[in-house]
Amino acid sequence: MNERVTELARRQARALRALDLLDGYLSPNDLSSLKTTPARELEAWGYESWLYTLGSRTFTHPLSSFHHQLWDWYWSIRLKIFRREPLAPDELAFLAVWFRGGGKSSNVEWCCIAEGGLVGDGFVMYVCDTEKQAKKHVLSIRDRLDSREIAHYYPGLANPRVDKHGYQVGWRQDYLATASGWGIVPVGLDQGIRGGRQRDMRFTMIVLDDIDSHEDTPAAVEKKLDLIARSILPAGTSDTLVLFPQNLIHENSVLNQILTRRSDVLSERTVSGPVSAFAELDLQLDESSTGRKWAIRSCVPVWPGMDLTDARKYLGKFGRRAFLAEYQHEFNQDKEVRVLVNYDDKVHVIRRSDFARVFGTRAVPAGWNKYAFHDWSKTKTQYHANVCGKVAVSSQNSPLPGRIFLFDLMSFEANTQADDVALRFLKSLTANTASSRDAVAWDELVKASMSRAGLERFMADTTRLIEARREVLARVIPQYVCPLLQVQNFRKLRMSHEAKTERQIYRNIYGLPFEASNPGEDGGVEWLNHYMQVDATAAHPFLPEQQGNTWMFIVVEDDKYPFPESATPDALHDSDLARFQFKHWRNRAPKLTEAGLVEYGPMKLNDDFGNGLMMLFHDHIVRAAPLTAEERREVLMPDSARLATIQELPPAEQGRAFASRDFLLARLRAAEAKEAGPRATPFVNKFSFMKKR
């Protein structure tokens, strides 16, 4: 037999054969109808010999490493089940994220047949996007069972089940049942699981194949995930195996959401891939007289069994974008559907320590222009949240002038009250009040104000009590907030225009002067994309180990820099949620109508932080603070006369350097006074370096 069969596979297969008769799992009388002696001997050689013998017309090329991953998983799982050994949660599901033409469906269909051969009375549900697709796979399996090899080794699988009257129970496209007790049913997500169960049997294997479609909208993807989680998977048992073979199709597909853990469905699993079709690929655009078309100039396939002719036909028929998605799992060609097309998490996100290394402080300098946004919402779901954040622009005399920084990005749970949002915002400004006396924490200030008022002792009505509390706070908190905003140089605070009640609470009770803002459907998006442009040829200003320079950065705490593995949006908060939304905010697809192509703006999904930024950027208010007169003079100084340079000199040389600096400063002030004209404040030149005429 095949020399490449491993000793481990042989031992597993022998154990399967020996365990057939253990614990009454199969009676000797059942063996003749289930499988023959040659079948048990074939199993002893392992899955490779089993496949090449029974599926000689399918497996015409050696298995690749990713094929072995699937069969090693399946064969070892079946061995453990025969031994009655417990299975780990991640052993029950397998994601085969392979390229188009990688043998996904063929291998999985043979896994279904192996279920009938090794288990005997297994029951499989084959699930596809449509019932028609699922029936096609079941018919393919039936054709494989009609082979001479299956009849020789597994007569029980090659013959349909018959009832006591001699009629066939199932040998058709909507239900396949064999004499050995094994069965398979096709299920389409478009029709549901109706008719799936037979004779009160529970499924031993569930296959999810061809689930995604290019035309799926976010709502359609969400519906499919819900059907899989609530209807399909619960039809199995605690030991039901789940196979999901598919390429990623597009970035928002069901499989990609499961793979990247944006969905928590099948969170315990074994993964093979993503496996691309080509280790090396060079596509060439041919613009000859016959027309414009893409062609494969050179390539190195990862598996010799891949049909290059079919790949070339697919490229010529569906184009480069679809080809790269189907064969290479590349979605950069789908970039234009993103609202923030230039956002790159690896470039735009920096740590507080990175910020401090360049600017000398972890906190954003007080003199920089700052702005705040707040997109109000009562919900916290997978697609919407109540968020706020701050934007700062580095001053013109800083090491990196004019750069934009997003910081203190916050999100809130569902039904969070405006009072709680306001207090968290105040705490992000400073931990304590800026009192002339001893500093007081914001929570303590609120508690002390309520204690002095003693409202709860005199009021039983809840609504009136809340109103009275706010009246007390309105007399206390604003006097601390207004000077604080001025010291930190906040220029504008903007929020959702429709949240009038919440805006009044912020302004009147907490002294936060939020203004209503309505940027429209896409106001400010063009500016955001402009500021997020990345120059891949330039060094990163904060991360010296990588390339990529840009004008906008997200500053996160050091422990928040790695993006969480479980990226389910409803479980993400603050900067994690902002990063997720920036990457997954999408435009609605344009539609072709009788009037022509109608373009649509951003979707109302994953748009909360983006909407907040739109409030600030749609009318160009975000800009660096102008230099003060003193800062302007420092910029005009030669390097040798600048304060930082002088402070580095030896003490003995600093006196002469400061005298030279004072002389130059006097000249600059004299020039300023002359430029200001006679209405300016008279200037006295104490150095008298300009001779009178």
Distance of alpha carbon 569 from alpha carbon 273, whole angstroms: 23
Residue with tokens 């007080």: 366
List the beta strands (DSSP E) in 323-385: 349-351, 369-375
Which secondary-structure segment (H or E) carries 473?
A: helix 462-476
For the stretch 139-174, pLDDT in tens is 999 999 989 999 889 988 888 775 554 555 666 667
What are the backbone dihedrals phi and psi of residue 120, each rounded to the nearest 5 degrees, phi first? Answer: 95, -60
- Cα–Cα distance list, 622 to 195, 247, 282, 392 (Å): 61, 43, 43, 8
Judge residue 111's burial from the number of C-beta atoms within 10 Å of its C-beta, 0-12 exposed, 13-18 middle, 19 or more buried: buried
Confidence at residue 379, expressed as pLDDT on a 0 to 100 scale = 83
Give tens-digit pLDDT for 24-64.
333 434 444 567 888 888 888 889 999 999 999 999 999 99
The three-state secondary structure class of 284 is strand
pLDDT value at residue 244: 96
Residue 566: its pLDDT value, please? 62
pLDDT at 16: 43
pLDDT class of 13 with cuts at 50, 70, 90: very low
Q: In this structure, what is the dihedral angle of CA atoms 414, 419, 423, 428, given to the nearest 10 degrees?
A: 50
Q: How confident is the model at residue 333 (pLDDT cuts 50, 70, 90)?
A: low
Q: Are strands 123-128 and 183-188 parallel, antiparallel or unpaired?
A: parallel
Type of residue at 673? A
d(CA 448, CA 470): 14
| Secondary structure letter of residue 197 according to DSSP | -
Q: Which of 266, 274, 307, 211 is nearest to 66 (CA)?
A: 274
Each domain of the chain, given as residue ranges in start order, spans 7-92+103-239+249-262, 278-337, 345-617, 629-676
pLDDT tens-digit series, residues 222-279: 899 999 999 999 988 888 999 999 998 888 899 998 998 888 899 999 999 899 999 9
Determine contact, residues 506/482, Cβ cutoff 8 Å. Answer: no
- pLDDT band at 464; cut points 50, 70, 90: low
The SS3 call for residue 529 is: helix
Please give the DSSP secondary-structure letter assigned to residue 232. Answer: I
Confidence band, pLDDT 50/70/90 cuts, at residue 541: very high
Question: Could you report the per-residue pLDDT of 86-143, keeping only the tens digit for each?
Answer: 888 889 999 999 999 999 999 999 999 998 888 777 889 999 999 999 999 999 999 9
pLDDT band at 355 (very low <50, low <70, confident <90, very high): very high
Torsion angles phi and psi, residue 443, rounded to 5: -60, -40
pLDDT of 227 = 93
H or E element in which residue 671 lies:
helix 651-676
Rounded CA separation 81/12 (Å): 12
Percent of the chain with pLDDT over 70: 82
> 237-247 pLDDT, tens per residue?
888 999 999 99
Alpha helices in 499-598 (DSSP H): 500-510, 525-531, 574-584
Give rounded-to-5 percent helix, strand, coil for the chain.
45, 20, 35
pLDDT at 214: 83
Query: Is 199 in contact with 241 (CB distance < 8 Å)?
Result: no
> Largest Cα–Cα distance in the chain?
130
Q: At what angle do helices 65-82 and 7-19 cross, to 10 degrees?
A: 30
Q: Which two tokens stand for residue 177?
A: 């049942």
Rounded CA gap, 382 and 263, in Å? 10
Reported confidence tier of residue 533, pLDDT bands at 50, 70, 90: very high
Give the torsion sign (CA, 185, 70, 78, 266).
negative
Phi and psi based region of residue 181 (left: phi greater than 0; alpha: psi -120 to 50; beta: remaining): left
Q: In which band, very low, low, confident or very high, does the pLDDT at 667 lie, cut at 50, 70 and 90?
A: confident
As given in the structure block, the two tokens for residue 322 are 């679809």
For residues 567-593, give the mean pLDDT.
Answer: 83
Q: Which tokens go with 660?
A: 């030279």
Question: Which residues are CB-neighbours of 52 under 8 A, at least 6 positions away?
Answer: 2, 59
CA dihedral 238, 243, 247, 250 (to 10 degrees): -30
> How does residue 70 score in pLDDT terms, banded at 50, 70 and 90?
very high
Which uninterrupted H or E stretch holds 140? Answer: helix 131-145
Among candidates 309, 328, 302, 311, which has minimal Cα distance to 66?
Answer: 302
